[in-house]
Amino acid sequence: MSSPATPVPAAEALPAVRKDRIPLLLVPVLALAALPLTGSLSTWVTLTFAGLAMGMIIFIIASGLTLVFGLMDVLNFGHGVFITLGAFLATTVLGSMAAWTTSESLLRNLGAVLPAVLAAMAVAGIVGLAYERIIIRPVYGQPLKQILITMGGMIVGEELIKVVWGPEAQPLPLPAAFRGSLIFGEAAVEKYRIAAVVVGLLVFAALYWVLTRTKVGLLIRAGVHDREMVESMGYRIKRLFIGVFIAGSALAGLGGVLWGLYQQGVTPQIGSQVNVLLFIVIIIGGLGSVGGCFLGALLVGLMANYTGFLAPKVALFSNILLMVLVLVWRPRGLYPVVNR
């Protein structure tokens, strides 16, 4: 700490935090750089929307993971379980409301999707509470054991999901009103992707509002920055952490529903498959930063779709490539928060 010992005027003691806006440019720069490469504007619009939709869904899933890490140094390798859980719950709920999902009316479709989303979030949240108790709490502050235990949680969770829903892949068809595309000029954009982008933006706005405009959000941000200081002020950071963990699990459940619908099917393995992508996103964003996670998710989503179109073989490594590039530029991610 290099704080001066002599008292300084209040205005100098707390200089205004300089806003770092350069990473914000990355998303438009990447999108514009891809424009001449894709050749036609309509293809570019389609790809961009696909990338944004994918990025939004990944953001919804990863936001909880990055906050949980920032707050308590807990990296949950079993985060994927909640995705799988959400997606399978959606198959059950939507499957039992076939009359509503096949109806052409948007209102009825939403009437089916909404309970599915709520069920997924509620169950994922409750399971998250139990998971925190059983799996994570006994190994606070022991990184090695934590990695092993959460990995064990992943194995057991995946197997339990197989016990309940069976090991086979299950279809998760889109409700009728979300199928097909909207045509803008010559560009076709799938309706569901627009819906995913909207949901993602809503979640981001809600998170942003909670984190910057409420007291709980203030405490969470302060806790991410310096846990001990917040504790010494008399706030119970553990309780806060449990809340964040449950919210993160519920968001992963929501993300699971969206991801399942995006893929139009669910397998018990989707959680562990998405895991690697999540880690890449939160590393790119800077661990603990929700804003960075948002940017990272969008970058990953766009990159995957552009390279998937331009050079399919490269696409499989595009995420790793992106991570390496970002880390070369900023070794601790776009927005480094955690100073530990």
Candidates 38-46, 161-169, 202-210, 291-299; binding stretch for other proteins (CB under 8 A): 161-169
Shortest distance, position 113 Cβ to other proteins, whole Å: 28
Distance of CA 208 to the CA centre of its chain: 14
Q: What does the per-residue mask of binding to other proteins show for 279-318, with x meaning CB under 8 A? A: xx--x-----------------------------x--xx-
Alpha helices in the chain (DSSP H): 10-13, 26-38, 41-72, 79-96, 98-102, 106-131, 143-165, 191-213, 215-225, 227-232, 237-263, 270-285, 290-310, 312-329
Candidates 18-26, 132-140, 204-212, 298-306; binding stretch for other proteins (CB under 8 A): 132-140
Candidates 102-110, 114-122, 193-201, 269-277; binding stretch for other proteins (CB under 8 A): 269-277
**Dihedral of alpha carbons 181, 319, 204, 35, sign:** negative
- Cα separation, 209 vs 129, whole angstroms: 24
> Is the CB of 68 or the CB of 257 nearer to other proteins?
68
Q: Which amino acid is at 88?
A: F
Closest CA to 225 of 281, 291, 288, 294: 288
Q: Which amino acid is at 261?
A: L
Shortest distance, position 275 Cβ to other proteins, whole Å: 8
Interaction between residue 169 and other proteins (CB under 8 A): no
> Is the CB of 23 or the CB of 153 nearer to other proteins?
153
Number of residues binding to other proteins, judged by CB under 8 A: 36
> Is the CB of 64 or the CB of 175 nearer to other proteins?
64
Which pair of structure tokens corresponds to residue 260? 């399942």
- Cα separation, 20 vs 45, whole angstroms: 28
- Cα separation, 125 vs 229, whole angstroms: 28
Interaction between residue 151 and other proteins (CB under 8 A): yes
Shortest distance, position 205 Cβ to other proteins, whole Å: 28
Q: Residue 170: what are its φ and ψ, rounded to 5°? A: -125, 140
Shortest distance, position 283 Cβ to other proteins, whole Å: 6
Of 94, 174, 290, 323, the one binding other proteins (CB under 8 A) is: 323
If one counts every other C-beta atom within 10 angstroms of the C-beta of residue 105, the result is 12
Shortest distance, position 26 Cβ to other proteins, whole Å: 20
> Is the CB of 39 or the CB of 152 nearer to other proteins?
152
Candidates 23-31, 88-96, 159-167, 294-302; binding stretch for other proteins (CB under 8 A): 159-167
Interaction between residue 320 and other proteins (CB under 8 A): yes
Please report, for residues 101, 102, 176, 197, the alpha-carbon distance to residue 105 in angstroms, rounded to integers and kept in the order given.
Answer: 9, 9, 8, 21
Which residues contribute to the site for other proteins (CB under 8 A)? 69, 73, 75, 77, 135, 138-139, 143-145, 147-149, 151-153, 155-156, 159-160, 162-164, 167, 272, 275-276, 279-280, 283, 313, 316-317, 319-320, 323
